[in-house]
Structure 1
Amino acid sequence: MRVAFASEPAYPDRPNEDFIGATADAVVLLDGASIPPGVTSTCSHSVRWYSHTLGSTLLAEMTQSAGPLPELLAQGIKHVTSLHDFTCDLTHGGSPSATVIMLRHTADRLDWLVLGDSTLILDTGTAEPEVICDDRLEQVAAPHRVRLDSLRGGTPEHAEARREYVETLGQYRNHDGGFWVASTDPLAADQAVTGTIPADQVDAVALLTDGAADAVNRYHLVTWRQLLNVLSQQEGPVQLIRQVREAERSDPHGERWPRSKTHDDASVVQVSR
């Protein structure tokens, strides 16, 4: 596999909470869930620490084992939890979390796993690529976004609404009827969306955090097919993120495109044969 990627933090002076890791036969992409000011975490570790620790653990597991991806994810979550369950209070749901995409090339097939609202795109040469995204967060979140989306970004009222929104979503995280992400419970891995496809049926694969997938989902700058065309160009992942940032800067207060924050960490991976 040939892998090209780009990742950019939401703001230059803040840590990037996304993680990208790749070998010749495996790719992992994690999007750490930012914790806004005013929301208390019961864990002393940062979101960046969690996404990078779990991401590097998963990549190592994928290079050492041909086991099912949900099994490897469960093992990874369990391992990272063991690194801080004696130093942090992990019982109140305030621990760092992350979405996960895992992609592995084994013999003549591609195995994939998606947990959370990051996006996996399989280009099978048809008019429309296959787009895989776990949309349970969006289904849960939509009715709770009304007040947040009605407020001008950058105001104290918007910041307070965002804090309330994040705290409300915390009640649905990793619960039946809610949405699932990697955090402290290995059983979340059983809720991942998974699949396998013959490798010779796939021309290219793209992995995107929601901050990059917003090029299609929120800003409607391109279609999924056009996004793949952008990524196939030289510096394609960088160019896609540049387009997203231009859209965000044109609407800093979320008046055209309501959103919880002006910018988000954005990461793109393009995999080709």
Structure 2
Amino acid sequence: MAGPDRENEDFVGATPDAVVVLDGAGHPARLQTGCVHSVAWYTRMLGSSLLGMLAVNDRPLADMLAESIKTVASLHSSSCDLAHPGSPSATVLLLRRTPDSLDWLVLADSVLVLDMHTTAEPMVISDNRLESVADGLRTRLDSLPTGSSDHEQERYAFVEALLRHRNRDGGYWVASADPQAAENALTGSVPTDAVRATALLSDGASRLVDLFGLASWRRLLDILENEGPAELINQVRTAEGTDPHGARWPRSKAHDDATVAYWRL
């Protein structure tokens, strides 16, 4: 679900045995990207490629992500400057079920939550490298009212500074035009029969827990199980609405695209 006045830059899709969630990295409108395509176009192309591969392929998830990044790059390399630091990009969550294992891949700041049979608390998997870089750059941004002209000016400077750390060692990695990002994704597996359910969350949805602190991961799973993804997003929007200028919860955007995939196994 996007904000009321703009296109959703997230992507979600599934096969009977796999789920893909991408969170497109939206930027201030005046930021140069070197690309004639939108972030939403990029996430749709990358998501579609990944779904197609997951439906017919059992290769490692990182290999499939690398090939999909190459495939999408080939679609616009002749019209766009793919070396530009602002070229469209996205976080990636991949989850695949096999008879024996549940394989996962996490790249950048979306969140995977696994509801385990054997523990009361879920397993939470998140790539915090983007957050680690951003935290050192956003002190002034967080001091300004969200949506103000000063905040928008500082957000532009913040994003430009952040992009200088994108897809390089010591910085953070996202899917864009460089397939090397796939090699730097977090990957792993758990036994299929150890997991009750899973939640794949863009950071616009996970903010109820990891930004607002209004629920635990256990509570988030209970909301999804009993009331569904729409209720989780409703609670996120309600919280955002109580703090439109970021006084309680400083943030880059008052509202962010919020996407949830909940899978009962």
Q: TM-score, normalised by structure 2?
A: 0.98
Residue 217 of structure 1: aligned partner: 210
- Counterparts of 1:229 and 1:39 in 2: how far apart (Å)? 40
- Aligned residue type for 1:139: S
Residue 120 of structure 1: aligned partner: 112
**Please, which of 97, 111, 115 is the counterpart of residue 103 of structure 2?**
111
**Please, which of 142, 162, 170 is the counterpart of residue 177 of structure 1?**
170
Q: After the TM superposition, which parts of structure 1 deviate over 2 Å for at least 4 consecutive aligned residues?
A: none
SS of alignment partner, residue 183 of structure 1:
coil
**Please, which of 230, 237, 245 is the counterpart of residue 238 of structure 1?**
230
**Please, which of 232, 256, 260 is the counterpart of residue 264 of structure 1?**
256
- Aligned residue type for 1:129: P
- Counterparts of 2:19 and 2:239 in 1: how far apart (Å)? 28
Deviations 1:82-123 (A, max 9, x none): 000011111222210000000001122111000010000111
How far off is 1:128 after superposition? 1.1
- Counterparts of 2:83 and 2:221 in 1: how far apart (Å)? 41
Range with bigger deviation, 173-182 or 91-100: 91-100
How far off is 1:12 after superposition? 2.0
Pairwise mapping of residues 12-27 of structure 1 onto structure 2 (< 5 A)? Answer: 12-27=4-19
Residue 151 of structure 2: aligned partner: 158
Residue 203 of structure 1: aligned partner: 196
- Counterparts of 1:241 and 1:175 in 2: how far apart (Å)? 33
How far off is 1:271 after superposition? 0.6
Confirm whether residue 30 of structure 1 aligns to residue 22 of structure 2.
yes
- Counterparts of 2:243 and 2:150 in 1: how far apart (Å)? 18
SS of alignment partner, residue 144 of structure 1:
coil
- Check whether the contact 1:58–1:76 (CA below 8 A) recurs between aligned residues: yes
Deviations 1:223-245 (A, max 9, x none): 000110000014x1000000000
- Counterparts of 1:182 and 1:53 in 2: how far apart (Å)? 12
**Please, which of 186, 192, 198 is the counterpart of residue 193 of structure 1?**
186
SS of alignment partner, residue 203 of structure 1:
strand
- Check whether the contact 1:25–1:104 (CA below 8 A) recurs between aligned residues: yes
Q: TM-score, normalised by structure 1?
A: 0.95
SS of alignment partner, residue 14 of structure 1:
coil
Q: What fraction of aligned residue pairs are identical, expressed as a percent?
A: 56
- Counterparts of 1:94 and 1:213 in 2: how far apart (Å)? 25
How far off is 1:38 after superposition? 2.3
**Please, which of 68, 78, 90 is the counterpart of residue 60 of structure 2?**
68
Deviations 1:149-173 (A, max 9, x none): 0001121100000000000000000
Range with bigger deviation, 75-84 or 147-156: 147-156
SS of alignment partner, residue 82 of structure 1:
helix
Deviations 1:185-226 (A, max 9, x none): 001100000001110000011000000000001111110001
- Aligned residue type for 2:252: S
Unaligned runs of 5+ residues in structure 2 are: none
- Aligned residue type for 1:102: L
Aligned length: 264
- Check whether the contact 1:37–1:163 (CA below 8 A) recurs between aligned residues: no
How far off is 1:20 after superposition? 0.3
- Counterparts of 2:30 and 2:140 in 1: how far apart (Å)? 18
- Counterparts of 2:63 and 2:136 in 1: how far apart (Å)? 33
